[in-house]
């Protein structure tokens, strides 16, 4: 005996369309939920990225102004104090072949510390000195 609901004018196409719609809705909702979770987890990393970019910007300005080439701790500290925004602290370590200079505060243990490294060459009359600038930056 055939069921009356299966003997409709369009057959069972309505049931298949409904199942397709439910499957599509399930897939779309899953994608939205997963992307929302991903976005909420990545929002906490944005201030850390800003801190790190600020550190690279300070080192780039110091390198562009050729302040790092002087290897004078007082000049570099004065420039950093003028460039670095008030909400940040920074430690810079300059390492060349024959000396190492550290400028800045001690690194705290209770917050995010961004760090980076930049390599440069100091051209002295015919000689080249390789300089490694390592920095650590954090919010006050």
Of 96, 103, 65, 114, which Cα lies nearest the Cα of 81? 103
Report helix, strand or coil for 113.
coil
In this structure, the answer to whether residues 11 and 52 fall within a common structural domain is no
- The 10 Å Cβ neighbour count of residue 90 is 22
Give the chain's domain count: 2
> What CATH number corresponds to the domain at position 61?
3.30.450
The pLDDT of residue 1: 47
In this structure, the answer to whether residues 38 and 54 fall within a common structural domain is no
In this structure, the answer to whether residues 50 and 73 fall within a common structural domain is yes
In this structure, the answer to whether residues 64 and 133 fall within a common structural domain is yes
In this structure, the answer to whether residues 31 and 98 fall within a common structural domain is no
Per-residue pLDDT of the chain (140 residues; tens, 9 = 90+): 455 555 656 666 667 788 889 999 999 999 999 999 888 876 666 678 899 999 999 999 999 998 988 889 999 999 999 999 999 999 999 998 888 999 998 999 998 899 999 999 888 777 888 999 999 999 98
The pLDDT of residue 89: 94
In this structure, the answer to whether residues 65 and 124 fall within a common structural domain is yes
In this structure, the answer to whether residues 57 and 109 fall within a common structural domain is yes
Burial bucket for residue 8 (CB in 10 Å: 0-12, 13-18, 19+): exposed
In this structure, the answer to whether residues 29 and 51 fall within a common structural domain is no
- Structural domain boundaries enclosing 74: 46-139
pTM strictly above 0.95: no
């Amino acid at each position: 005996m055939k069921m009356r609901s299966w003997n409709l004018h369009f057959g069972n196409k309505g049931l298949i369309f409904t199942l397709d719609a439910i499957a599509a809705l399930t897939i779309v909702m899953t994608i939205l939920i997963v992307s929302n979770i991903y976005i909420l987890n990545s929002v906490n990393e944005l201030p850390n990225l800003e801190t790190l970019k600020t550190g690279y910007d300070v080192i780039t300005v110091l390198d562009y102004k050729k302040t790092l080439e002087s290897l004078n701790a007082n000049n570099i500290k004065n420039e950093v104090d003028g460039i670095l925004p008030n909400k940040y602290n920074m430690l810079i370590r300059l390492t060349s072949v024959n000396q190492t200079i550290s400028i800045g505060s001690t690194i705290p243990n209770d917050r995010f510390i961004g760090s980076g490294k930049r390599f440069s060459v100091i051209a002295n009359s015919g000689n080249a000195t390789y300089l490694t600038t390592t920095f650590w930056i954090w919010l006050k």
